[in-house]
Structure 1
Amino acid sequence: MKKLFILLFVIGFILCTPKPQTDNTIFVDLDKPEKASLFDYFRSIELIPLETSSNVLIKGITKMIVHEDKYYALDKPLCLIFVFDKAGKFLFKIGTKGPGPREYAFIQDFNINPFSGNMEILEPYGRIHTYDLSGNFIETRRIAYPGFRVAHSLAALDSTTYVSQSIFAPKKILYFNLDEQKLLHEEYEEDMSIGSYANNPYQYQKDWFFFWPFHPVVYKMGKERLEVAFRFDFGKYTKDGRTAILSKESERNFAKRTEEMFDQYSYMIQAVRHNNKYIFASLLWKDEDHKANIIYDRSTGKSKYILDFDEKVWFNSYRGEEIIITDEYALMPIQWVDLEKRITKEMLDDKQKAILEKLLQADTEQNPILIKYWFK
């Protein structure tokens, strides 16, 4: 009897003890939100308004790259890349939309190739337009390996090897050699219906990372295949997130499809970024109106699930904004109309308060504003 009591005590202790964090597993209790201030992580906040003029009007920034003290901002609706200096002053535009040579119909993605030092603009049906960083056209190349269908993102792993994401292919991640026009490897299979929620891969330092909204694993794009970088463990809510049972109505109605997806998965991971100190994720929880943040501290091995920061402002990606994380700062372009949802005067020093006041007093809509959060 005594042995049975000891056994039951040990089992109960194990079940009640919180799971320890491991090197690549982040445990998050979605039933227990915690309190946090943005200033637990950041020492100061800087506003960088992107210049607004009759010749420089941005509809929306869908991707941004920071390179050599310049901001390269993709405006997908206008099919242009706007270039600004570090203070937000407009410098020039890159690209020309049109049907002719040296022109493109649409920009799906763009990157700065670290091996050539040039900018590569991707059209989804297989054309890569190369420019130098001053905006001068260099060449157009085609992705034309046998069986190629469509590419929704593009990243160079070396001078000839690229990896792309294809939402409409059965396997979503495709490695190919551009010079030899050869498919090298493909993986990550999931239902086509889930693909419409996809996010573009993100870059940290020299590596590329990939995640899918309902699948709790973040992968590093290795030289030959995907490698697990880290995974989220949401306890009883954790699911593989690669298949879904959807109604016929959801095929025609995206809102209905989203509702059915939340019924099956509870959460949707909207953004993940990391640096040497933290892993950040933004989450939609149970429906599109409930927004949350996850911040994992690498030094303590602990994560926080945060519904509202003490400052009562939005942080992270809630309208599909691009977020950039480096070891020094986090950077987000936000719409002028969302400014008061993102920042308050109390969060700023006197210089930044004056910039905020000027922006709030503008009588016409301004170009996006970059919010730069400097890490402690």
Structure 2
Amino acid sequence: MKYLFSFLCLCCVLSVSAQKPVVINLAKAISESPKEIMLNELASDIRYVPLETTDDCLMNNEFYIMQYTGEDIITSGIFHFDKNGKFLNKIGSKGQGPEEYLQGLFAFGDWKNKLLYVQNWTTLTCYGFDGTFVRSVPTPQLNMGAAGLFDKNHILYSNDIYYADKANPIQLYMVDSQNGKTVSKWRGHLEENKKYGMILTSRDFMYNYDNSLFYKPALENVIFKILSPKKRQLVYKFDCSGKDIDVSADEVDPKKRFQFLSVYWAKETAQYLFVNYGMKNISRLGIYDKEKKTFTNVTIKDNLAGGYDIHPAWTSDDNHLLMVYYAGGLLQDKEKRYSTGLLPERKKELDELLKNIKEDDNPVVILVTLKPKKDNKQ
């Protein structure tokens, strides 16, 4: 029995390691026109949530942080709102003190325990959602790379200039979430005979789905799933044949930016992988259908509230899509609303919002509630 158990465990390990990644052909897809689909094919509900505007929570027109946990909205600032847009409190403060953050451009959350980790250059400052300082976690190679919570005990972060040390190009660090002690490391991919330049139009990013952490490196067209503190698996590969990232490009010169195919953001759900990607002056939203194994560029029409086109971005829980509109943008684009709404109460709410909102108000968060997978048949 002992040997049988060991054999079965080995089979499980081999099956995971042998699993082939999904290949999505972006080189072909980017030239294809988007297909128009209705929001009710994907979602059961939509809410346009105006974030409360007070002297204590005035937001700049910058969305470096925008997250929806299912209960809380965390924004740049760093401001904490409830799911109805009511301002609750500010989280942390900007400065150089031991309990402050320098920039606050990027953050990620331990939503179960209501903790927010704000990135500094070489540390992560952890706060409770109520704004109290919890701890500072050393992350000496973080620079401006990505970071995410693997589990309550471990944080994964990336060194986005790993290629500067070609003798030891460590790109990923798994660290203890309490003290920053390194648990494991992964080397980054280096292209031979290439001099690496400054790449600004492709960035490392991470996302959580189904209690797992996923990582997309800036200089590779792939997505890894982190299986354990010491193991990762290639799960998605983007075929960008002939339009791949040129690591030797120096995008400090604005004329050299956006010259290659790049994935800017991804969001995974039970049935779909949503992908924001683009090249030069082309920007696309694509959906990979896991059941049909197809990838399609789409424009999503809000036929639920009779609202605006849905182009999701930012971070949300598994059950929602999230996007944000400037208040002024909503007012200017009134004529671009979809003509009908299948949910009269939501259409009425949006009508009232547009009557009362002011151009310099805080942004409006759009929360799309996805259908369960079994109801998502097209």
Same fold (TM over 0.5): yes
2:293: which partner in 1?
Answer: 301
Offset of residue 149 of structure 1: 6.2
**Quick check: 1:228 aligned with 2:234?**
yes
Offset of residue 371 of structure 1: 1.2
Per-residue displacement from partner, 1:31-69 (whole Å, max 9, x unpaired)? 443523133323443211111223221113322333361
Aligned residue for 2:314, secondary structure, equals coil
2:362: which partner in 1?
Answer: 367
1:150: which partner in 2?
Answer: 143
Offset of residue 324 of structure 1: 2.8
1:202: which partner in 2?
Answer: 207
2:224: which partner in 1?
Answer: 219
Per-residue displacement from partner, 1:148-169 (whole Å, max 9, x unpaired)? 4635333233454321122222
| Amino acid aligned to 2:83 | K
| Amino acid aligned to 1:349 | L
Aligned residue for 1:26, secondary structure, equals strand
| Amino acid aligned to 1:337 | G
Per-residue displacement from partner, 1:307-340 (whole Å, max 9, x unpaired)? x4567964335xxx515362x3312223223333
Q: Structure 1 pair 125/108, CA: closer, same or farther in 2 (3 Å)?
A: farther
TM norm structure 1: 0.74
1:337: which partner in 2?
Answer: 328
Whole-Å Cα distance in 1 between the matches of residues 235 and 267 of structure 2? 12
Per-residue displacement from partner, 1:128-156 (whole Å, max 9, x unpaired)? 32222322223334335xxx463533323
Q: Is the 8 A contact 1:168 1:195 kept in 2?
A: no
Alignment RMSD, CA only?
3.2
Aligned residue for 1:53, secondary structure, equals coil
Aligned residue for 2:351, secondary structure, equals helix
| Amino acid aligned to 1:152 | G
Q: Which runs of 5+ in 1 are unaligned?
A: 1-21
Aligned residue for 1:351, secondary structure, equals helix
Whole-Å Cα distance in 1 between the matches of residues 327 and 366 of structure 2? 11
Whole-Å Cα distance in 2 between the matches of residues 36 and 195 of structure 1? 31
1:51: which partner in 2?
Answer: 52
Per-residue displacement from partner, 1:73-127 (whole Å, max 9, x unpaired)? 2x1xxxx32111121111111111223342232224323336865332221222x
Q: Is the 8 A contact 1:44 1:348 kept in 2?
A: no
2:277: which partner in 1?
Answer: 283
Whole-Å Cα distance in 2 between the matches of residues 150 and 360 of structure 1? 41
Q: Is the 8 A contact 1:109 1:122 kept in 2?
A: yes
Q: Which runs of 5+ in 2 are unaligned?
A: 1-19, 164-169, 191-195, 372-378
Offset of residue 294 of structure 1: 1.1
What is the number of equivalent residue pairs in this alignment? 327
TM norm structure 2: 0.74
Alignment counterpart, residue 350 of structure 1, candidates 331, 334, 344:
344
Q: Is the 8 A contact 1:283 1:293 kept in 2?
A: yes
- Rg comparison, structure with higher value: 1
**Quick check: 1:136 aligned with 2:132?**
yes
